[in-house]
Structure 1
Amino acid sequence: MAEDSQANELSVAELRELVPQLQQLTDKYKRAELIQKALFDISELASSVNELTRLYPAVHQIIAGFMTARNFFVAFHNSATETVDFAYFVDEFDELTLPTIPASELKKSLTAYILRTGNHLFLTKENTDEQLEGIDAENLGADPVDWIGVPLKRDDQVIGAMVVQSYDESERYTTQDLEVLLFVSQHIVNALDRVKNREITEQTIVERTQQLQAINEDLEEEINERQKVEALQQALFEISELSATAGGEITTFYSSLHDVLARLISAPNCYIATINKDTQFLEFPYFSDEVESEIKPRPMGRGLTEYVLRTGQAALIDKSKVQDLAEAGELAKSIPENMLKSSNSWLGSPLVVEGEIYGVIAVQTYSEESPYTFKDLELLKFVSHHIAVAMERKRAAESIQKYNQQLAEKVKERTTELNQTNETLKKQIEERKKIELKLIHDAHHDALTGLPNRVMFSNRLELAVANKQRHKEQNFAVLFIDLDRFKQINDTIGHYAGDMFLIEVAKRIGSCIRGHDLLARLGGDEFVILLDTFETVQDAEDVASRIIDSLSKVFVLNDKEMYSGASIGIAILESWYKSADEVIRDADAAMYQSKSMGRGQYALFNKSMRDKLLEELELENEFRRTLRESAFECFFQPVLNLETKESIYFEAYIRWEHPKLGKIQREQFSQVAEESGLTLELDNFLVEQACTLLRQWQYSDGPEKRYRIAINISVDQILQPRLINNLLDKIRKSGINPYSLIFEFDENTLNRRSQHILPTLTKLKKAGIQLVLDNFGSGLASLSYLYSYPLDYVKIDHRYVRSIPRSQKNLKMIQSILNIGEHLDFKVIAEGIETAQQYRELAGIGCQFGQGSYVQSAKKLVVKSDKVQSES
């Protein structure tokens, strides 16, 4: 028995002797795995990294994981600029202030040698002088202990260099490090050329993978040949298998782990401690001890287990160390007394899974005859990792089993619920189909009238256009309908009645067309019809006539009789039409033509309408450009005292000569300004011109110092308080006397806005501006204007003046206005005096003021910085 015991002790002793060898072998195996992982990672960089700024740190990180690489840089030679670009530079002692350095400053450096020759360099402190002898190179930075530099080549051309260096005697490089760097250098170039050289990169990866597989096979064969400690192998295998083969009881699993561990080191007493994260208590899922029968959970304190948890390192604690730890405050003071009393020797190692500590495995003895050594500590550290993994697998397996049971119950419950839900879903699907059909209908129909909308009409019209191109004998037409007085109806009786009006209109139009024709509402009061397969153009005109007749009849809305009407444009589809928009555009143009003819009309589209629209568009664009560049010619026609021939003021107006259309009539470009919304801008232009002239005249020594200028102002300019305030502010800032400025207002515009304009005219009058009622008699000629408005002058419309002496009635009307003016304190101006007889007749009835070509023609005044130039 003694001999057997001695034999057993020798076996354990031999086993302990072999632990360092096993550790070395394991380290070598880990190094081989690191090499394999590094090589695979480097091979993948060329295809996985798309940005060079990420490539260099990734390469640096890979190299640093395999060898010491705290000092690392990559440099490229730019032959075009003769510079060296340091794309990546990390060094403990040298600091790179400029990423790009002229090549001439580095021509003696080691890096320049590699760039120049394409050779690699492996320098150590022992062979540096020997290596540098005869190669015309020297180290320009801090002297390293070891220095490795490899070229970066594209085919046979050197494009750069990669360097790693060490300043620490304890960190030395080997030829294996050089080989890895040479390999990395090729893959950096591959990453740079990954698009052009993809096939070469993939082939290189395949070749290097084959080499790595061969190296791996050689390493595995060497490990198998040198494996001498079969007991450790068997123990590790059993630990790995326990998580899969142990029974359902967790205590059996822990007990089996204890048995395996006891065959490696002395472990008569063993326990496993874990941390309950919710309560921060130590729990002991396994406890086997010769002295204590059980141990209860306890709060975290200053015990041996907590010491390992705090430090995260395995620990050997015996009576030689426990007192020092207690004095340092790492352990409770009672622990040294207990260990010394029982001659304790304690080993503990953290259980780590995926970098997180979740427990401790510990063994202890109560005998001085078998204390633990550092070899036992290294072995426990090595085995504890496998134990932790096995425990985690076991715990995961139990969680999965428990989850599967719960899942089976849930599946059963869900199956029942799904059967009930399926019936509900069937009903919901049917409802969803109905909703989808309604959505499709709503997307293609007008919500108010239920008619097809613009989308559906355009789709049908596109088909008609395509059909016309294939079958020229088939006839189609589009009728564009615009309602008369719709806005007035809306404003008068409300929007709800307006909606009822549109619904009634849709019904009436629908009764005027055939079943296969398509009626749609584009929006607002615009309707369109697609007439399908009719015989002659007369058929389309008949439809338009029926619609006009139907819509001209009385509408009864909110118990009120209302009358409307329609203007219709007709566009006949021709084979040259390319799209529905072209047809609708031409029908719209024809509708505008019908409106110009008067209400209740229809018009057939012809090419002249489009030409007219294009002309109007071109006229508007040119008008905008001319106004933006202030390029209008400004003319001034005087208003004279017919007795003294002196000018009482000058009326300013604009003449515009179009580069293509020639001279544009005043009425025409005034209409363009109104339709394009530029009336206010045109008024502002005239005001600025007038203020500039008046400012120049008031500093003159001639007769122009007392001149005044009149401007025709749009009523829209003065209806809004903000606009009238801006206008008066502009006049004040110009520095002119407001009395020298006269505003003329057309009688027709006053007819439309008369109830709103009196406060504004009063405000202008108080500001010192004189007021003129222009074209009196051209409209309603309401005498209430003469009594109500603070007018300074009233201009008789030129048509009354031109009728003299032919119409004595008009002459007497002018005489009546003169009499009214004497009583109401305003002066009368006769506009448009063109003959001597007109002049004499007006003078005979006492008309004091006049204007016209006979009296004096208009002059063009050019505003300049230093003077005002007059041109006849």
Structure 2
Amino acid sequence: MFRDEQTQHSQREFELMQKRISRLKSLALKYKRAEVTQNMLLELSNLAASVSSPAEFYSGVHSYLSTLLPADNFFVALLDPLNNVLEIPFFLDEKDKHPLELFSKENISAKLLSGLTGYVLKTGKSLLCNQDKFEQLILDKQIESLGAPCHLWLGVPITVHHSVVGVLVIQSYSEQVNFTEVDIELLGFVSHQISNIMERVQHQEQLEQAIAQRTRELSVAYDKLKQEVNEKRRAELLQKSLFEIADLATSNIDTHAFYSELHRVISHLIPVSNCYIALLNDQCNQINFPFYVSQANGRAPDSRIICDGLTEYVIKNRRPLLLQNIDIQSLVSSGQIYAKTPELNNTKDIYQWIGIPLFIHEQVRGALTIYSTNKTRRYQENDLDLLTFVSQHIASAIERKLSAESLIASYEQLEDKVIERTQALALLNQDLEKEIAQRRKMEQQLVHDANHDTLTGLPNRGMFMERLSQAIKHTRRHKLDRFALLFIDLDRFKLINDTLGHIEGDRFLVETSRRLKLCIRENDSLGRIGGDEFVILLDRINGSQDAKEVAERVLTGLSEPYKLANQQFKSGASIGIAFNQHKTDTSESLLRDADAAMYQAKTNGKGCYVIFDDKSHKQLDKDIELELELRNAISNRSLLISYLPIEDLQTGETLALEPRLYWNHPSLGKIKQAKLLNIAEHCSLTTELDIFLLGTLNSEYAQLQKMSLAHLPLHINISGHHLKHKHALRHLKNKLKQSYFSSEQLWLFFDEQGFIFDTDNHINAFDLLTKLEVNLALSGYGSAHSALSSLTFLPLKGLKLDPSYPCHLDSKQHKKLLNAHFLTAQALELTVFVDGISTKQQKELMLEIGFERGQGQALGKVLRLEEVETSVCA
């Protein structure tokens, strides 16, 4: 019994021992597994630091993992958080092919995300899935079936910063291979370690990228800084070179040293072993080479006439050129260079050639050239730019050098000329003093001529009006002082000019001025303001009686006979007198008043004087009223036209028509053309009257056509006022262009007297009017005795004699004068018309002299279109 109890006790101890041994073995296995796991994790950490690619790292993970659990079917899936794409960096499976072989690259991520891998990614939890659970997940539509069926599928998430970034997957196709909780825990450790390693690798990768980026930035900054340093050094060197070039321009070294120094300065900037400078002469027809250096030690080219060399090519193109040898030979082949002078072609050994034109005195006057003969020295575009910039300063230095040399030569010539000129000046000094005295005398004479009439020596209009203005200012300051203005117009002066000629007419005016001087005091002023118009300013008179006495003396003095051309000739005068009576008087208004009074004296019968008074004012008012009425008549087209026929004196045939304006005034009656022109002259409406006439002719063109008269030439009297101003002449030209009559029908007659007084304007205007192809002629010819030579340079087609000639046919002198006019017109091939034929006898006498065309009372009836219409209607 005791033995049984002992046996039972031993049996219990043995069982306890067995249990302890089992626990110890389990603990030993667990410690060993922990040690292996720890070592594996260390190895994984070392592996992450040693591998060169992710595929190599995951392959090592699989190798270490296979030592702890069955991992024949293992893959790693990683999620790219930026674009949510699932990638598989490592894949190993017994049955399934790599997903890239099963699915397209675009669809692989979506497929994996729809399976168990995507399920672990979504849940973020480890999953041990058997076939039953797999089918349940499919039924719950949590996943889709992918790949071959397996016994067990184990997936553990990889978490970085609490975010699931991937999945570690182990599969088992055999029922003998099962995964325990320990395997899940082990795979979780591996996943955690991989996440740490991935985080460290990611951090290291970011650090390396940052270092690489910073390294690149530092490298770029260094290169930029290096470039800036080089550019600064280059700029300093360039600035130093430019200063040296500027100093050379002002140095006193000789020409050879000057160009050698230029070459030295350029050599600091760019290698110039072969270099020369070419310059053109002042005539730009010859080229010379003041500087030449060559590696071949050749001598400088000789001066030559401009030809078709390479140097001339760059000068001709006026722009910098960088040419390769092939470019040069192409220019030679195309005949652009050395076609005429092949003997100058030494370009075969040139590898590169740079030519820069030199602008001296703002013209291309030369070229700076460098070239290389081998490939060891290659010129670039930046060398061309640098040399182009420097060449501008070199050209300026050469320009200043040449100017300095020219200045020195000029100084030497100047010194010689100064000595020579000093000697000549000593001889000419006395002559110069005489010349200065003569010049002063001429200046005094010019001042006198500007203010005095050249014929009589009396003050002219300008000077007299100045004295009259001073007299008005004086009387405004001194209320009690008075003065009088006498306006004198000579009678019969025109007749004297016509009968005795210009010279005797001038003698008549000189004698008249002498007589007038005898009639006035020393403090009075006498002036000539027109052809036969004189004015007297009587200063400080006591009353109107003083002016009347002077007027009487003037009339008496001028009534004495004149001895002209050995003949006794009597004249006379009409005098208008005006006094300063109003505060508003001006020099022009007083002269106008005196002129109006003189005009009244002429109306009264000449040889008398009239004092401007209220009656004269009334007359002026009437004149102003008449002017307004005339302006209204022109604007209302109330003026009418009559047509005076110009006939053949032999046959009586009507050769042309002279349109004349007349005015049926409501109170003054019919005003003919002569008086109408006189009114227009006083009102300054002559140009408007002419324009009105031309416009009215157009309106009557249709009527003239009906009467078969529209084909006849028209003799139109035109005022010379059109020719004094550009706008008036332009207006006349435009009106002529608008005429319904052809230009050949239009004869424009300008008064000869107006031509004498304003020759230059007439000549210029005639040249312009001739372009319209109208016929130009002078009317009143013989009244002013224009020089015959003036007819030779005027584009005239005809002359119309002054109407006074037919009235003096009983005078032999007049007949001789008429005959002279006829012969002159024949010699100049001018058509002559006689005006003023009032009797049949005058017509016969004109035919005897040779005149063929004329007009007047004795020739044809004046034609009025309104009278013709009335007679036709009747």
The alignment's TM-score, normalised by the length of structure 1, stands at: 0.43
The alignment's TM-score, normalised by the length of structure 2, stands at: 0.43
Name which one, 1 or 2, has greater alpha-carbon Rg: 2
